[in-house]
Amino acid sequence: MLTRIAFDQEFAQALRVRGLTLTELAVRAHVTVATASAAVQGRPLNVSTATRLARALASAPVVSELERWARAPANQQPARGRRATVALVAPAPTDHPHPSRHAAPGARADSYQLPLDVA
């Protein structure tokens, strides 16, 4: 029985081309901002929560200018003969003595990758 769903990078791209913030998505889906953030980061979510987020995102119109200019997921390769721009992101230093308790997102036996059509 399917109990958890994890979105891939297309979910984050769909958020970008609609010009929504995590807060706006969370309000539309009636979830917390932390839950919306977890979805964008690919962490497994309950099926009902993932469904609410997917429906809230799909109901927002795509902004044509953002669709053309928003950055695509990093795993897409540039067209042959074109240069790619690479952005490096590093976590901000903290004084917290313990490392993050969040596990790296990964597929579990009870999770499912659900692509979201951004068109």
Over residues 85-107, mean pLDDT: 47
- 63 located within any domain: yes
**CATH, residue 49:** 1.10.260.40
Answer yes or no: is 6 within a domain. Answer: yes
Range of the domain at 20: 1-73+109-119
Q: How far apart are CA 52 and CA 60, in angstroms?
A: 13
Could you tell me if residue 115 is inside a domain? yes
Task: Answer whether 78's CB lies under 8 Å from 40's CB.
Answer: no
Amino acid at 57: L
Residues 38-89 pLDDT 10s: 999 999 999 999 999 999 999 999 998 888 777 655 555 555 555 544 443 4
50 assigned to some structural domain? yes
DSSP state of 31: S
The reported pTM is 0.59
Do the domain assignments include residue 102?
A: no
Q: Does 37 reside within a domain?
A: yes
Residue 5: pLDDT above 50?
Answer: yes
Residues of the chain with pLDDT > 70, as a percent, come to: 58
- 12, 70 in Cβ contact below 8 A? no
Mean pLDDT in the chain?
Answer: 74
DSSP states of 90-116: -PPP---SS---PPPP---TT--EE--
> What is the tally of structural domains in the chain?
1
Q: Does residue 26 form part of some domain?
A: yes
State residue 50's pLDDT score: 94
Contacts of 85 (CB under 8 A, 6+ apart): none
Asked if the model's pLDDT at residue 104 lies above 50, the reply is: no
Closest CA to 116 of 54, 68, 62: 54
Q: Is residue 4 part of a domain?
A: yes
